Structure 1
Amino acid sequence: MRTVEEPLHSDVAENALVLSTRETNFYRRDVRTACPVVCDPFIAKFLRPHQRDGLKFMFECVMGLRASAHTNKAHTGCLLAHEMGLGKTLQVIALVWTLLKQSPFKRGCPTCRRVVICVPASLVGNWAAEFKKWLGPERIDPKVVEGGDKDAQKSFEEFALSSQRRYNVLITSYETLTAKSEALARANIDLLVCDEAHRLKNASQTTKGAMALSSLKCHRRVLLTGTPVQNDLDELWGVMDFACPGLMGDLSSFKTIYATPIEKAGERGAKEDVVRIGNARRDEVSKLIGPFIHSRKADEINASLLPPKTEYVVFIRLTETQRALYVEQLKAKSMQAMLGRIGKTDDAISPLSAIQTLQKLCNAAALASEAHRDDPIETSSKLCVLRSMFRALPSDERIVIVSGFTTTLDLIALLCEGEKLKYDRLQGSTPPKDRTAIVRKFNTTGRILLLSTKAGGVGLNLVGANRLVLVDSSWNPAHDLQAQARIWREGQTKKCTIYRLLSTGTIEERMFQRQELKGSLARTLGFKSTSTASNGGGSSSTFTQAELRDLFSLVKDTKCDTADRIAAQPGDTPKHWCDDASLTTTDVLLLNVARDELITFVAELPSAESDTTIVCEDDGDEFSNDCPSESDGE
């Protein structure tokens, strides 16, 4: 009589998380040694329903149980596209622990012996801490390698030795792996995990980082990102081709057959046949990538699991100094030439540069004029608003202040010092070795954290804070959403409040109105829109001359240009764009700000923002324009 191999953990226990059974159809599996794989109950008990589903999905993918709908070819990579704050790290830790200890082919044998986890530099310490938190140092001791010095080279070489058995998991940064990849290229890696995988969106995969990762001998690849599509479908191809090489064909064919028709279908005024073809191609792409992408939305999951979250869009009038400088900038010859109102000038300015100049001016007059460096606070409406917020912040709460400009963070630091408030600061230039300590300190004893938009978009856990202010908005709404998710995520115990500051009638309102353009591509493939207001289609990289003129303007006689534009559209205006929340709010910070009469309008967004179309005039020639990125040394 044949002996039946029993699983390492009971597959019939209550709430057992069974990943495969004896009947699961693995390629070339000997039924005589086949063994069920069951997630260790020590960690399975912490997994929520969506995390259990995510773990099963990743296991099936890396074990070759899922195949292309077109070719029926199995792939061993996948993309876990759960939005920020849904516990992707815990799911991966559960997967890694399972593969290190169990195999469906034979009891007592591991599926993987070496696992490499590649993450942004700011998250190396966080990943190591998460392994310790969920498994304990007695179960697993990951090798953590930071920096690109000789020690990193030696650590990689030691990990790569076929004879070494102490370390099964290597956690390192993209930068370190890129610099020292040749040391790992000789090793047989059984599983590669890439966090914040939208870094791999470069379609050509010719960047040093992508080439370094591709050089590793590993066919099992798990990619993690909450924002797989940020700009265009080429990015989706880049990410998925790395996870599942060949799944979507070559880039040129993908663009011709899928990307171009889909994007044309989303353009304003697209003909019925164009829309029909684009929708059909979109459905084909969804079927193609569907087996290898697991997507979950934070609002749907967290609404029932976390304390409530309130989001305010706070419209603020410019100070008289800012307004005068703003008008002066708009009337400048370089600006007028860019807008086509006069001929070209010697001091020509690009749209990107002009956008950033006006953004910084909306933050503070001191950032646009040397004459106001001596009085940066009083000549900035946003800094005055922040001062009122700081003064009203309850003593048992913490707040995160986010800006895309380090010069703006400099002024906010100056404000904190003037108010005798202690603060922590984290930005792109912060050394990786210091970041974990800064986060830990803030979450336990901190009060105010100054955070750059880009640094805030890479998985930081800031649940010690329950309030967050977006001082300025990124042109890419995914960056803002990632920053917001730092506080409203797994582990949060307090009600959270998000404040987005916008200067009334300025370019900031225009950017806010257009952010839905970035989300339209994501929505076509079933991902959550990465924005809060709809724009009605089109490409964010192309503007008509009329749209440029609309973007670079100042609406003077309005409390909220966004609300005015929405009200002018056919149909009912959403209630939150009709009612000024500043008149009814009980939020202690907003109540204190309202006393200074700097607020012109406050919209309290519903938990799931409705699609509201804001239409801009279109009567000119198209102007090609790439999205500006946050700067000032980031």
Structure 2
Amino acid sequence: MLRSFKQTLKPCSNSSSSASSLLRISSTQEFEAPRKPPKSSLSQQLLRLDDSYFLPSKHESKTSKIQLEDDHKRNIKFEEEEEDEKSIEFGRPGLNRAEFDYTGPYEPLVLSPIGEIPIIQVPASINCRLLEHQREGVKFLYNLYKNNHGGILGDDMGLGKTIQTIAFLAGVYGKDGDTGEKSVLESEMGPVLIICPSSVIHNWESEFSRWASFFKVSVYHGVTRDMILEKLHARGVEVLVTSFDTFRIQGPVLSGINWEIVVADEAHRLKNEKSKLYEACLEIKTRKRIGLTGTVMQNKISELFNLFEWVAPGSLGTREHFRDFYDEPLKQGQRATAPERFVQIADKRKQHLVNVLRKYMLRRTKEETIGHLMMGKEDNVVFCQMSELQKRVYQRMLQLPEIQCLVNKDKPCACGSPLKQSECCRRIVPDGPIWSYLHRENPDGCDSCPFCLVLPCLVKLQQISNHLELIKPNPKDETEKQKKDAEFASAVFGTDIDLVGGVSASESFMDLSDVTHCGKMRALEKLMASWISKGDKILLFSYSVRMLDILEKFLIRKGYSFARLDGSTPTNLRQSLVDDFNASPSKQVFLISTRAGGLGLNLVSANRVVIFDPNWNPSHDLQAQDRSFRYGQKRHVVVFRLLAAGSLEELVYTRQVYKQQLSNIAVAGKMETRYFEGVQDCKEFQGELFGISNLFRDLSDKLFTSEIVEMHKDSNFHVKERSLLETGVSEDEEEEILCSSKPKSEEPSLKDLGIVYAHRNEDIVNGGKTTTSTSQRLNGDGNSDENLHCPDRKKKKKKKIEDCSEEKDMSSSMREQKREKYKRLAEFKGMEILEFSRWVLSASSFDREMLLEDFLERIK
């Protein structure tokens, strides 16, 4: 007990600190004085924050706060920054972990209540390296543990969920990084089980080695499983790390062990209650189950129930109760034409659900935690014009017998039978190239016919939307499949077969690298030319490895220096590729497979992210963006999601919006704009999003997404106008920020770039909190020369200027007042005018309002 009491009084140690970084203290002082933070540009950022940043959390006593504030004002002094400090980087881009150049608060991180014995606290060697939001996360995990139930740590990617977990475990097990003594606590407690994707097993090992090497960590994976299991039974293992796949197979063996704590990394893998993995995890005996995930809900609200039923059984009631009380009301209330009564009920149920989840989940975003240390992110959705050849091939695809069978499945059969076509004569499609290959061993069809055709047909439509070469036979496939793919390609190419070089896969470098017949690549070519000329670095993602091959040839043809990472890249070489790309100024592009990107890839040297093909699951695209937008990023990150206008990809994107909005409603309790009539899993209200007929309809004659957005543009503009004016940015000043330095005649238009329509994703998902128009700035920087403009907007603005010239002169004094207020706001934020202008355009309306409130309170 005496040792624990001394530990609470001992200041944090940091072996990396030098003697010169310590404050001078008298020789009669009993304890070591607080040290100054290391010299870095981050300390300069912290100086701009309020003193409350260094105070204890709101949960600690008022007396401790006053005492610490006095100590802070009396003792802590920062050294003057050197003139060349701007060149010092915030983070360490080469590391595949969340790491910070910041020595945390100096008071001990005590987890147990005051007066409780033994004292539970985080070792000083870990505590001094934690940021404030990580300290709060550790306290949250301990409260779950103390109350004998589990929960979810749902922080965004890159906020250090792994580090917070390790700090929590070190505190609970009474570890002391300095003495290395075995505590009473750890001798009485069982081991810890960590279940994670196989791709991050090594990451967990390295994090324990770096942060808490005093733990005995072993990996239960591969051929050494039996030996590790024997070691575990002999109490030679404190932390056992295994993969989801291994646990699914070895669940009966591992579930029989009395685990003290079980941690599931990337816990959204437990979203499907029918999977064998979920069933295996339910057999774990301990109630202290912790889930780590940045995407608590991905596709359906029911996924919330499955996840929380594992971490805290019974917390959301029964499955039937959850469906009737939460799931259905929230979905029905989000319908565009839902009666007001439905909307009111949904709002009440939403608030109730959020209050319940708050007991078991801590969810924080980058903007809430480290947003002030980053330049921000802009997520643009760009609808590219398909080439004329792509459009013709797409139309022929829609006319294939397989798709016509699916579209007309509910129509009466032509044979005169009372049955539907899908239940009678059109149940099978023997003359279709896709159906005949799928049922090559069963000419009579399968039990799922014709619905077994849905997925293969969707894949083909997506391939046509991306590049016509993708629907040609893959030389790596078996001979019979190549033969059927050639038959399919011949049917959809039709009379244009000579333009694409026949049905065989092209081996010509010049043909594959040509952008003539690919709408997305034509837009990408022009955008990349502008980015490369400015020294930007680009991450280029694609779900298809064959598409990466084509993009690689395109980059070679354009002379761009690039790196590539996909499923064939050896695991032990991936981090070196990342480090080389971050360190080398000559590397301009990084090609990455969305599926093989893995977790923990830190690519902060890139400030442009291109997602070439969208995924049905929005979390995949969001995780790809976070490869660049994470701590250590010093530039404004701009994302470009390329979609083929008028194709299935528009429907993929609108379903992403639908899922993201449902997640914001159920998890964060936000009110979202009701865009869509469709309701997920409801045949009565399939609307414009759901059902087979919507998947395979022709969208080429309309701007599907644009028309939905335009229905809400008036309310969106009202919100935008209010939020900007409140921060002192006039419309004219905003226009100056957005305009490029080039003459207007040289500004590229959407049409010049091969773009039909573009908007910012956050404007749509968040209900129009910021400006939304058919012409958005796609570069994200105020001083760039690639701002896209809308002719109608320019004409309207010019006419407004001509008609109101006298009125404009009269309001010059008012404009000067606004400019002065804007300048004072920038000084209050600690930024130059241009830097602050970029922050205003990238920040959310909430961040702007908070800044204004703080500013008004300060000047009082």
TM-score by length of 1: 0.78
| Structure 1 partner of 2:194 | 117
Deviations 1:612-633 (A, max 9, x none): 599xxxxxxxxxxxxxxxxxxx
1:285 alignment partner, SS class: helix
Deviations 1:266-311 (A, max 9, x none): 3444445544444444444333332111111233334312232233
Which of these residues, 159, 171, 178, is aligned with residue 86 of structure 1? 159
Deviation at 1:218, TM superposition (A): 3.3
2:380 alignment partner, SS class: strand
Give distance in 2, aligned partners of 1:592 and 1:42: 54
1:296 alignment partner, SS class: coil
Deviations 1:12-35 (A, max 9, x none): 7844322123346xxxxxxxxx13
Amino acid of the residue matched to residue 40 of structure 1? P
Which of these residues, 604, 611, 617, is aligned with residue 767 of structure 2? 611
| Structure 2 partner of 1:128 | 205
Do the aligned partners of 1:115 and 1:170 also contact (CA within 8 Å) in 2? yes
Amino acid of the residue matched to residue 114 of structure 2? R
Which of these residues, 114, 119, 123, is aligned with residue 22 of structure 1? 114
| Structure 2 partner of 1:401 | 540
Which of these residues, 357, 362, 369, is aligned with residue 460 of structure 2? 357
Q: 2:244 matched to 1:174? A: yes
C-alpha spacing 1:430/1:264, structure 2 compared with 1 (3 Å): farther
Give distance in 1, aligned partners of 2:539 and 2:713: 38
| Structure 2 partner of 1:230 | 298
C-alpha spacing 1:114/1:359, structure 2 compared with 1 (3 Å): same
| Structure 2 partner of 1:488 | 629
Amino acid of the residue matched to residue 218 of structure 2? K
Give distance in 2, aligned partners of 1:599 and 1:209: 44
Deviations 1:537-584 (A, max 9, x none): 6434457476566654555577x6534542344625549999999x95
Deviation at 1:415, TM superposition (A): 3.0
**Percent identical residues:** 27
Amino acid of the residue matched to residue 114 of structure 1? P
C-alpha spacing 1:403/1:4, structure 2 compared with 1 (3 Å): closer
Which of these residues, 146, 158, 161, is aligned with residue 233 of structure 2? 161
Instruction: Give the number of the structure whose residues are more often strand, by fraction.
Output: 1
| Structure 2 partner of 1:518 | 659
C-alpha spacing 1:200/1:561, structure 2 compared with 1 (3 Å): closer
Q: 2:613 matched to 1:475? A: no
| Structure 2 partner of 1:193 | 263
Do the aligned partners of 1:7 and 1:35 also contact (CA within 8 Å) in 2? no
Deviation at 1:320, TM superposition (A): 2.0
| Larger deviation, residues 390-399 vs 326-335 | 390-399
Q: 2:170 matched to 1:97? A: yes
| Structure 1 partner of 2:714 | 571
Amino acid of the residue matched to residue 115 of structure 1? V
Do the aligned partners of 2:706 and 2:757 also contact (CA within 8 Å) in 1? no
C-alpha spacing 1:320/1:212, structure 2 compared with 1 (3 Å): same
2:138 alignment partner, SS class: helix
C-alpha spacing 1:604/1:238, structure 2 compared with 1 (3 Å): closer
Counterparts of 1:269-288 in structure 2, within 5 Å, are 269-288=337-356
Give distance in 1, aligned partners of 2:621 and 2:674: 16
Do the aligned partners of 2:194 and 2:242 also contact (CA within 8 Å) in 1? yes
| Structure 2 partner of 1:45 | 128
C-alpha spacing 1:134/1:487, structure 2 compared with 1 (3 Å): farther
| Larger deviation, residues 354-363 vs 246-255 | 246-255
Deviation at 1:41, TM superposition (A): 3.2
| Larger deviation, residues 50-59 vs 548-557 | 548-557
Deviations 1:103-162 (A, max 9, x none): 9xx975337552222211222222233334444x5x44633455x3x223423432x133
Which of these residues, 466, 480, 489, is aligned with residue 607 of structure 2? 466
Give distance in 2, aligned partners of 1:41 and 1:592: 56
2:314 alignment partner, SS class: coil
Return the index of the structure with the highest Cα Rg.
2
Give distance in 2, aligned partners of 1:212 and 1:119: 14
Deviations 1:24-74 (A, max 9, x none): 6xxxxxxxxx1332322332233223222111100110122xxxxxxxxxx
Amino acid of the residue matched to residue 218 of structure 1? T
| Larger deviation, residues 596-605 vs 402-411 | 596-605
Q: 2:748 matched to 1:599? A: no
C-alpha spacing 1:491/1:270, structure 2 compared with 1 (3 Å): same
Give distance in 2, aligned partners of 1:227 and 1:450: 24
Do the aligned partners of 1:153 and 1:183 also contact (CA within 8 Å) in 2? no
C-alpha spacing 1:437/1:172, structure 2 compared with 1 (3 Å): farther
C-alpha spacing 1:353/1:155, structure 2 compared with 1 (3 Å): same
Give distance in 1, aligned partners of 2:623 and 2:233: 38
Counterparts of 1:233-632 in structure 2, within 5 Å, are 233-340=301-408, 344=421, 345=426, 346=429, 347=432, 350-369=453-472, 370=489, 371=497, 372=500, 373-374=505-506, 375-376=511-512, 377-378=514-515, 379-388=517-526, 392-393=531-532, 398-419=537-558, 423-427=562-566, 436=575, 439-440=578-579, 442-444=581-583, 448-456=589-597, 458-527=599-668, 535-536=675-676, 538-541=678-681, 544=686, 552-553=696-697, 562-569=705-712, 571-572=714-715, 574=717, 584=739, 597-604=753-760, 610-612=766-768
| Larger deviation, residues 278-287 vs 503-512 | 278-287
Amino acid of the residue matched to residue 483 of structure 1? A
Do the aligned partners of 2:565 and 2:591 also contact (CA within 8 Å) in 1? yes
Count of matched residue positions in the alignment of Structure 1 and Structure 2: 579
RMSD over aligned CA atoms reads 4.2
Q: Which runs of 5+ in 1 are unaligned?
A: 25-33, 65-74, 615-634
Deviation at 1:383, TM superposition (A): 2.9
Deviation at 1:363, TM superposition (A): 0.8
Amino acid of the residue matched to residue 466 of structure 2? N
Give distance in 2, aligned partners of 1:102 and 1:530: 44
Give distance in 2, aligned partners of 1:191 and 1:461: 29
Give distance in 2, aligned partners of 1:213 and 1:591: 57
C-alpha spacing 1:163/1:517, structure 2 compared with 1 (3 Å): closer
Which of these residues, 53, 57, 63, is aligned with residue 140 of structure 2? 57
Do the aligned partners of 2:198 and 2:244 also contact (CA within 8 Å) in 1? yes
Give distance in 2, aligned partners of 1:284 and 1:597: 47
Give distance in 2, aligned partners of 1:59 and 1:80: 12
C-alpha spacing 1:182/1:432, structure 2 compared with 1 (3 Å): farther
Q: Which runs of 5+ in 2 are unaligned?
A: 11-63, 69-105, 177-181, 414-420, 433-449, 473-488, 490-496, 722-730, 773-860
Deviations 1:398-419 (A, max 9, x none): 4322223333223223434545
| Structure 2 partner of 1:28 | none
Amino acid of the residue matched to residue 43 of structure 1? I
Give distance in 2, aligned partners of 1:493 and 1:458: 21
2:638 alignment partner, SS class: strand
1:366 alignment partner, SS class: helix
C-alpha spacing 1:125/1:466, structure 2 compared with 1 (3 Å): farther
Give distance in 2, aligned partners of 1:456 and 1:553: 33
Give distance in 1, aligned partners of 2:621 and 2:358: 27
TM-score by length of 2: 0.59
Give distance in 1, aligned partners of 2:298 and 2:317: 21
C-alpha spacing 1:7/1:516, structure 2 compared with 1 (3 Å): farther
Do the aligned partners of 1:123 and 1:436 also contact (CA within 8 Å) in 2? no
